[in-house]
Amino acid sequence: MAGLVNVLVTVAVVAIVIARQFRARAIDTDRRWWLLPVILAVVSLREPGILDAHHRAESAVLLVMDLFIGLVTGVGWGWTTRIWTAPNGVVWTKSSKASGAVWIVGIALRAGVFALGSALGVHQDSSALMLGLAGTLLVRGGILTWRAQSVGAPSQPATSRPATSHPAPAYGDERSAYKERV
């Protein structure tokens, strides 16, 4: 039953995160962007079945592969998200088409890791998937916060609608962009 709960939590978090990221949103760099990934990691690590008792080495390798894919997906997602500053100084973000491609590739690679584990006869718990998602969100949040601070994010959350002035570059974005300070 815990595995089903983990899968449902993971699916719900992914659906919410993806739906929110493809709409323009103001970034608040003082917000605790790391809290949700830490909660997901704690929930996933509390499960005893994260490693297969009969195939510990193979299971650990698959877990490391899934974590690596999660971290790389987070990096790709963080760098393909558009960031721009509105005239009132508020920093906004919105995922690009390239961000969607990063998600698709990340999901496909995770499915490949699961298929490899199944072919090897390794039991794979949903906790590994949740831990990989936590890594993805943690890295992405860190990169976006750093990028937002580099373009001058205010410390208060914004309440106005986004403007389209001075977008920061995002990989895969066809439009010309204002140079992001690094």
The 10 Å CB-count burial string (b at 16+, else e) for 41-53 is bebbeebebbbbe
Q: What is the pLDDT of residue 142?
A: 93
What percent of the chain lies above the pLDDT cut of 70? Answer: 80
Calpha distance 74→107 (Å, rounded) = 12
Q: Residue 82 CB: number of other CB atoms within 10 A?
A: 21
pTM, two decimal places: 0.76
Question: Is residue 93 helix, strand or coil?
Answer: strand
67 has a pLDDT exceeding 60 = yes
Q: What is the mean pLDDT of residues 29-58?
A: 84
The residue among 120, 41, 14 whose CA lies nearest residue 50 is 41
70 has a pLDDT exceeding 90 = yes
Between 85 and 155, the more confident residue is 85
76 has a pLDDT exceeding 80 = yes
